[in-house]
């Protein structure tokens, strides 16, 4: 099952609990439009490499398309469509005035120099410029893109259009129009959601252990905030090259220092090396996938021993694995809720850029907490009313909201 087939199955599984006409479900199973671009990239040695990229507009019933841009060798048209579809559901989950979009370039940035990455980023922003804009489609960071890349995107877009338009992209550096609190927003939002879930499960204040897969923006801050804000013990972390495990706990700043110095988590002296596969099956209370999709599958789900899976990555659990985890009474807090803090603070950044009224970090965190805590409890109520999984409940709530807007707007022309 590819990522888009996973999304379609997740929608189908929510349908029995919805009162929705079939035609709207059919519309939601397809992206509205997908732009495919070829970017000629001038290499430092004078040669040219043609790189392929995409931007998918899935649905804009609730507002302009919103979603990140991914740089990864496995990016494909189908993956970008799936990620944009999840964004539609996620923005509705967090009650944001947005639809779903996503972009990506099929490239291994480890093969490129910083100046090649800048030229590629500017080439992509230019190629998709007619597809984006503050009221059209607002891209943001995702895997292997960061605030610096957003700054190049905005600068390119503004130069093409000859005007200042800071809210055409979010996730920018604070110095270039970004919002305070955007850097750790995805993980912070996930921490708030986990806090509420622990209360529901009667686990608040207990000594719990955590394994985090991925040590980029989301996994790195995830390790830090889950330890600092919730007082839980993170015993395993990993990146694309492998992981480290210490049942006594891993100090975030020491792991980060090792990663900065050596480029990987593996080989950390404060733990024993483990593989990404082993990390998911550790005897811990909480597993946090925070890297790529499709890592929890029917072949490893039955070996998982955690009682909570907090999906900070997009699409980490296949529907087959989801069913196995549900049967084992493992609580899966779905991506569309668990990692919605990033797009929520992106929305705050968009508002600040449009009004010129910039908020304090404390204000950003307070508003984020209020929004996600409300979303969590509304979803939990649906879960309890229908006796369904948290993922199904989140889809029921999001699809109801999207379809309500689509009904008013009508199917036209
Ligand atoms: P990132 O580029 O900052 O970090 C990605 C991390 O994943 C790196 O540590 C990398 O080494 C690791 N990784 C890559 N391939 C791996 C593999 N095969 N096994 C284990 N680890 C691997 O990206 P990010 O922004 O932290 O995004 C991580 C996930 O969170 C993605 O699924 C992304 O879509 C999702 N997400 C990100 C945001 C955001 O605001 N950045 C928001 C919502 C969801």
Q: List pLDDT tens digits, range 32-53.
A: 999 999 999 999 999 999 999 9
Q: How confident is the model at residue 85 (pLDDT cuts 50, 70, 90)?
A: very high
Question: 145, 291, 309, 337: which to mutate for ligand 1, most atoms within 8 A of CB?
Answer: 291
Q: Check pLDDT > 90 for residue 138.
A: yes
Q: How confident is the model at residue 109 (pLDDT cuts 50, 70, 90)?
A: very high
| Ligand 1 atom closest to Cα of residue 219 | 26
Q: Check pLDDT > 90 for residue 332.
A: yes
| Ligand 1 atom closest to Cα of residue 316 | 32
Give the number of other Cβ atoms within 10 Å of residue 114's Cβ: 9
Distance between Cα 86 and ligand 1 center (Å):
16
Distance between Cα 329 and ligand 1 center (Å):
27
What sign does the dihedral 29-185-346-398 (CA atoms) show? positive
Distance between Cα 293 and ligand 1 center (Å):
9
Residue closest via CA to ligand 1's atom 4 equals 216
Give the number of other Cβ atoms within 10 Å of residue 306's Cβ: 24
CA angle 218-228-329, nearest 5°?
A: 70
Per-residue pLDDT, averaged over 52-72, amounts to: 98
Task: Write out the E strands in 230-293.
Answer: 233-239, 242-245, 272-274, 286-289
Task: Write out the E strands in 188-285.
Answer: 209-213, 233-239, 242-245, 272-274
**b/e string for 131-153 if b means 16 or more Cβ within 10 A?**
bbbbeebbbbbbbbbebbbbbbb
Q: Check pLDDT > 90 for residue 141.
A: yes
Gap between the Cα atoms of 229 and 220, Å rounded: 14
Task: Write out the E strands in 324-370.
Answer: 331-333
Q: How confident is the model at residue 62 (pLDDT cuts 50, 70, 90)?
A: very high
Q: Which residues line ligand 1 (CB under 6 A)?
A: 141-144, 186, 213-219, 238-240, 276, 290-292, 312-314, 339, 342
Residue closest via CA to ligand 1's atom 13 equals 240
Cis peptide before 413 (omega within 30 of 0): yes
Q: Check pLDDT > 90 for residue 397.
A: yes
Q: Which residues contact 157 (CB under 8 A, 6 or more apart)?
A: 125, 129, 132, 133, 165, 168, 169
Distance between Cα 140 and ligand 1 center (Å):
14
Per-residue pLDDT, averaged over 237-265, amounts to: 97
| Main-chain phi, psi angles of 324, to 5 degrees | -65, -45
Residues of the chain with pLDDT > 90, as a percent, come to 100
Q: Check pLDDT > 90 for residue 351.
A: yes
The active-site residue, picked from 90, 102, 371, 392, is 102
Residues of the chain with pLDDT > 70, as a percent, come to 100
| Ligand 1 atom closest to Cα of residue 335 | 44
What pairs with residue 286 in β-bridges?
Answer: 210, 308
Position 116 scores a pLDDT of 98
User: Domains in the chain, please, with CATH?
Assistant: 3-166 (3.40.50.10860), 185-333 (3.40.50.720)
Q: How confident is the model at residue 413 (pLDDT cuts 50, 70, 90)?
A: confident
Q: In sequence order, which ranges of 21-176 are alpha helices (DSSP H)? A: 22-28, 77-93, 114-127, 147-161
102 is catalytic: yes
Q: Tell me 72's DSSP state.
A: E
Give the number of other Cβ atoms within 10 Å of residue 323's Cβ: 15
Question: 117, 140, 142: which to mutate for ligand 1, most atoms within 8 A of CB?
Answer: 142
**Mean of the per-residue pLDDT values of the chain:** 98
């Amino acid at each position: 099952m590819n990522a888009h087939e996973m999304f379609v199955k997740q929608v189908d599984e929510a349908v029995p609990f919805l009162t929705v006409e079939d035609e709207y479900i059919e519309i939601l199973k397809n992206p509205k439009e997908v732009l495919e671009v070829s970017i000629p990239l001038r290499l430092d040695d004078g040669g040219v490499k043609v790189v392929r990229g995409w931007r998918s507009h899935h649905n804009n019933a609730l507002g302009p398309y919103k979603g990140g841009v991914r740089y990864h060798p496995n990016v494909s048209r189908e993956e970008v469509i799936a990620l944009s579809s999840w964004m539609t559901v996620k923005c509705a989950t967090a009650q944001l005035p947005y639809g779903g979009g996503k972009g990506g370039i099929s490239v291994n940035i480890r093969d490129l120099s910083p100046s090649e990455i800048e030229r590629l980023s500017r080439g992509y922003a230019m190629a998709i410029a007619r597809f984006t804009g503050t009221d059209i489609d607002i891209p943001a960071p995702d895997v292997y893109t960061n605030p610096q890349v957003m700054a190049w995107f905005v600068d390119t877009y503004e130069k093409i259009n000859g005007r200042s338009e800071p809210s055409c992209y979010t996730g920018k550096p604070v110095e270039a129009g970004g919002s305070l609190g955007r850097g750790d927003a995805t993980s912070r939002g996930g921490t708030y959601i986990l806090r509420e879930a622990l209360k529901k499960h009667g686990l608040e204040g207990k000594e719990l252990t955590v394994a985090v897969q991925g040590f980029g923006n989301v996994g790195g801050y995830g390790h830090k905030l889950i330890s600092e804000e919730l007082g839980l013990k993170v015993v395993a972390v990993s990146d694309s090259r492998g992981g480290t495990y210490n049942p006594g706990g891993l100090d975030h700043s020491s792991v980060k220092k090792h990663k900065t110095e050596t480029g990987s988590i593996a080989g950390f002296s404060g733990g024993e090396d483990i593989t990404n596969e082993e990390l998911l099956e550790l005897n811990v209370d909480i597993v946090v996938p925070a890297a790529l999709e499709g890592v929890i599958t029917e072949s490893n789900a039955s070996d998982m021993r955690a009682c909570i899976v907090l999906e900070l990555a997009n699409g980490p659990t296949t529907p087959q694995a989801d069913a196995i985890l549900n049967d084992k009474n493992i609580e899966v807090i779905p991506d569309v809720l668990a990692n919605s803090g990033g797009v929520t603070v992106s929305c705050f950044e968009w508002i600040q850029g449009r009004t010129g009224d910039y908020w304090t970090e404390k204000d950003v965190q307070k508003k984020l907490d209020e929004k996600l805590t409300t979303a969590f409890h509304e979803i939990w109520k649906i879960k309890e009313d229908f006796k369904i999984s948290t993922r199904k409940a989140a889809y029921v709530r999001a699809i109801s909201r999207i379809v309500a807007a689509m009904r008013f707007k009508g199917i036209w022309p």
